[in-house]
Structure 1
Amino acid sequence: MEIDFEKKYHEVEIENWWFKSRRRYLLDLLRNVPKDSKILDIGCSSGIFLKDLELLGFKTEHLFGIDISENAIANCKANGIQNAFVMDAQNILLEDEFDIIVASDCLEHLEDDRKAIRNWYSLLKTGGEMYVFVPAFQSLWSHHDVVNMHFRRYTNQELKAKLIHENLTISKSSYWNFSLFVPVYIFRKLSVFLSENKKEKGQIVGNTTVNYILLKLLLLENSLLKHISFPFGISTFCIAKKI
């Protein structure tokens, strides 16, 4: 992503509604996983999610992160995550095999997403699970995607097909951030129409009250996702298993 946007990203990623609610959903999914599981966070940024896993009782020495950004990995190490490495997510060179691989908003940054998934599959233990989140719907493409250096956005069917093609079995899939889809869609279309999309700063919201409301909204959605799948949303995800 662009340097200025990355700097802002690192400043807000702990408390921002988007990042915090997604971490909470993943943490709920992993809450009952054996605490000696070996976990890899692809595109780990400053290691906030890995620190949350540590607080849940997962062993620090079994928590790994990779990111293409040297600044992100420096932040990781400053946060106490020593198994953090600067690597290209299309070609992760680690000797370890993992019980859990998490890739939150990473695949869309990679030019060859099939090569990346194939690489991730090789790092996953038999019986292990992969949790992949990506931005949804090319119709939502905007300047936010440009500054984040995205190559594409996905439908849920496209993401499932790419994972299945690499011999993974889908155990759950859905869209995420369902409630805000319509207002975000309208805003982005209006931005393009008015030629003002360069003013858009994506999902980073500084207002404390707005941040609190949006966080509560997505935490409610997280609860609903335990029982249902959403038909559309700003993001989509799959949980896939290596059989």
Structure 2
Amino acid sequence: MARRQNRSMDAAEYALMDAVEDRMWWYRAMHGHALRALAHLPEDARILDAGCGTGGFLARLRAAHPQARLFGLEYAQEAAARAASKAGTHVAAGTVNALPFPSAYFDAVVSLDVLCHGGVEEAAALAEFRRVLRPGGLLVLNLPGHEWLRSAHDRRVHNARRYDRTRAATLLAGAGFESPASRHWNSLLLPLMIVQRKLRKSDEGAASDVAPFPPWLDASLYSVCQLEAALLGAGLRFPAGGSLLATATRPSDPASP
């Protein structure tokens, strides 16, 4: 891999994330999709947020599953410390390429917009996710959608790749997971995303899209995401979207490597 394995996001991006992830429409929508994927876990499930950033999802997970045993992992030590404080749980500093947790330990592993990062080795990270999951355990990934959506935002946050449903399914099956499934979201807002990223912010120096929004605009965008979530819950599937939620399970055979 040409990029440094341990490359992390800029400190400024972590600061932005920390400041807005509890209220920004996009984080709230993504966290909602991930929470719904985890809804059927047992109350005392062990759950790992691999690449937890500054802890926004861990905090939401704590509120939704107060009896769960939660763990986080983040490469940047300062972000890991902030996540531990925000979520009130253990957060290790380390890399998803070599998780510092025992094998077959977790009921679920969640990793939100991490596999795409330039410092992540896809094959190593997926092998580690599989290793630390118990047989039958659930993997939940959020991934940025479609290579043709690559923009200055990706460069700013060090995204090395974007995904579609076929690529996600192939990766998960190749890593030894079963029952891979994926769906696009942030689809109703995709035309606005194309205008924002491909037309208005195509220059190399453009900032990422993580930022506080005017309350009226944030509420409007989140309302669209709620409508979209309801449509997805009713069984509708969109052919494209700014993001992709993928799930899969570790095979139930305890003898499987």
Query: Fold match, TM over 0.5?
Result: yes
| Equivalent residue, structure 1, for 2:67 | 59
Cα deviation code 1:134-178 (max 9, x no counterpart)? 111111111111110111111121111111101112353111100
| Equivalent residue, structure 2, for 1:135 | 144
- Change beyond 3 A, Cα 1:69–1:134: same
| Equivalent residue, structure 2, for 1:239 | 247
Give the TM-score normalised by the residue count of structure 2. 0.87
**Counterpart-to-counterpart distance in 2, 1:135 and 1:142:** 11
**Counterpart-to-counterpart distance in 2, 1:12 and 1:222:** 21
Q: Displaced runs of 4+ in structure 1, greater than 4 A?
A: none
> Are the counterparts in 2 of residues 63 and 81 from structure 1 also a CA contact under 8 Å?
no
Structure 1 stretch 27-36 or stretch 125-134: which is displaced more? 27-36
- Change beyond 3 A, Cα 1:76–1:188: closer
Cα deviation code 1:55-82 (max 9, x no counterpart)? 223435x100001111221112222533
What is the identity, as a one-letter code, of the residue corresponding to 1:108?
C
| Equivalent residue, structure 2, for 1:23 | 31
> Are the counterparts in 2 of residues 160 and 170 from structure 1 also a CA contact under 8 Å?
no
**Equivalent residues in 2 for 1:151-170, closer than 5 Å:** 151-170=160-179
| Equivalent residue, structure 2, for 1:103 | 111
**Equivalent residues in 2 for 1:53-202, closer than 5 Å:** 53-59=61-67, 62-95=69-102, 97-109=105-117, 110-191=119-200, 196=203, 198-202=205-209
What is the identity, as a one-letter code, of the residue corresponding to 1:152?
R
- Change beyond 3 A, Cα 1:55–1:188: closer
Find the residue that maps to 1:108 and give its secondary structure: coil
**Counterpart-to-counterpart distance in 2, 1:236 and 1:142:** 17
> Are the counterparts in 1 of residues 169 and 180 from structure 2 also a CA contact under 8 Å?
no
| Equivalent residue, structure 2, for 1:230 | 238
- Change beyond 3 A, Cα 1:7–1:80: closer
Cα deviation code 1:4-43 (max 9, x no counterpart)? 2221111101100000111122223323321111100011
User: How many residues in Structure 1 have an aligned counterpart in Structure 2?
Assistant: 240
What is the identity, as a one-letter code, of the residue corresponding to 2:194?
Y
Q: Percent identity?
A: 25
User: Residue 8 in 1 paired to residue 13 in 2?
Assistant: no
Gaps of 5+ in 1: none
Give the TM-score normalised by the residue count of structure 1. 0.92
> Are the counterparts in 1 of residues 14 and 53 from structure 2 also a CA contact under 8 Å?
no
Structure 1 stretch 46-55 or stretch 116-125: which is displaced more? 46-55
Structure 1 stretch 63-72 or stretch 171-180: which is displaced more? 171-180
Gaps of 5+ in 2: 1-8, 252-257
**Which structure features the higher share of helix residues?**
1
